[in-house]
Amino acid sequence: MKAPSFDYVRAASTAEVFALLQRHGDAARVLAGGQTLIATLNMRLSEPALLIDIGGLDALRGIALAGGMLRIGALTTHAEIERSVLVAEHVPLLAQAVPHIAHPAIRNRGTLGGSLAYADPAAEWPACALALGATLVVAGARGERRIAADDFFTGLFTTAMAGNELLVACELPVRAPDERHAFDELARRHGDYAIAGLAGCATFRSGRLFDLRLAFLGVGDRPLRVPRTEQSLHGRALDDATLAVALQTLRAELQPFGDLTNTPEMKRHLAGVLAKRVLTRLAV
């Protein structure tokens, strides 16, 4: 397939991006790493009149600790996250998830901000942001605002960002000493889109789970938490009886979407497999 014709601007500043988005509205698309957008262009799933390339905006790159949070710029690539010592030490969930993202060639170009803004329900970063209780920093001509990950993903490929706003960073709370992270996903082949995946965080004290956050990917129109299942495990040791109750609660709570190769019942089964794996790792 061949992309439709479009105009192209390489933005020199965020102010220029905001002005272009304000002027062109839905006819404009922002180009970051391009690993999703270029494919949708070539398949004619997206036909913008203008591409705004933000790849030259170095202010949107980088990983830094600030005020008890790890701030990752929107243009930081998956590969940079994979190599980051700060990420591995302070937000290990991301370090566990990143090898599941496609293949090295994609990770070298694709960006954190592009993945979060595109809001693919089968992508790893939205689920991780949700599990971690991240804050998404967006900006527009009127300034910055912060959106909790719980409120950011609103539906299939849709977010709480306005059309004239740009995702500029993601802020993640650093891991507490007794906090544990675990990530797993199931795909037909390594690097394929996940059939289902799960990101989990919990505090583990005196052999019991507290403050559990489980975020599934690939089972709905957005990354999904399961609050009833989380609550069923709060303050409990993960023995066989407790795990059985949690998995039964999960089956009743989760209503997954099917896809071309997997029925809803298959996805529900795989979600249970992932929950058992992730919970066991959190409690070991």
Give the mean model confidence (pLDDT) for residues 189-211. Answer: 95
% of the chain surpassing 90 pLDDT: 87
Nearest CA among 28, 4, 5, 6 for reference residue 17 = 28
| CA quadruple 87, 88, 91, 93: dihedral, nearest 10 | 120
The pLDDT tens digits for 100-125 are 999 999 999 999 999 999 999 999 99
Cα–Cα dist 22/18, whole Å: 6
Question: Residue 196 to residues 217, 234, 251, 257, 262: CA-CA distances in angstroms?
Answer: 6, 24, 14, 11, 10
The SS3 call for residue 147 is: strand
Question: C-alpha 128: how far from its chain's center?
Answer: 5
Q: Model confidence at 148, in pLDDT bands (50, 70, 90)?
A: very high
- Say what the pTM is: 0.95
The pLDDT tens digits for 47-80 are 899 999 999 999 999 999 988 999 999 999 999 9
Give the mean model confidence (pLDDT) for residues 228-243. Answer: 97
pLDDT value at residue 54: 96
Give the mean model confidence (pLDDT) for residues 124-135. Answer: 98
**Domain 7-53 grouped into CATH 3.40.50.300:** no
The H or E element containing residue 202 is strand 196-205
| pLDDT value at 1 more than 80 | no
Give the mean model confidence (pLDDT) for residues 161-174. Answer: 96
pLDDT value at residue 43: 84
The SS3 call for residue 201 is: strand
182-282 CATH pick, 2.40.50.100, 3.30.390.50, 3.40.50.300, 3.40.50.1100: 3.30.390.50
Cα–Cα dist 243/123, whole Å: 27
pLDDT value at residue 191: 85
Helix pair 240-253, 264-282: axis angle to 10 deg: 140
Q: Model confidence at 41, in pLDDT bands (50, 70, 90)?
A: confident
Domain ranges of the chain: 7-53, 63-173, 182-282
| pLDDT value at 211 more than 90 | yes
Q: Model confidence at 198, in pLDDT bands (50, 70, 90)?
A: very high
The mean pLDDT value of the chain amounts to 95
Say if CB 212 and CB 202 are below 8 A apart: yes
Give the mean model confidence (pLDDT) for residues 122-147. Answer: 97
Q: DSSP class of residue 95?
A: H
For 36, other C-beta atoms within 10 Å of its C-beta total 20
- What's the CATH code, domain 63-173? 3.30.465.10
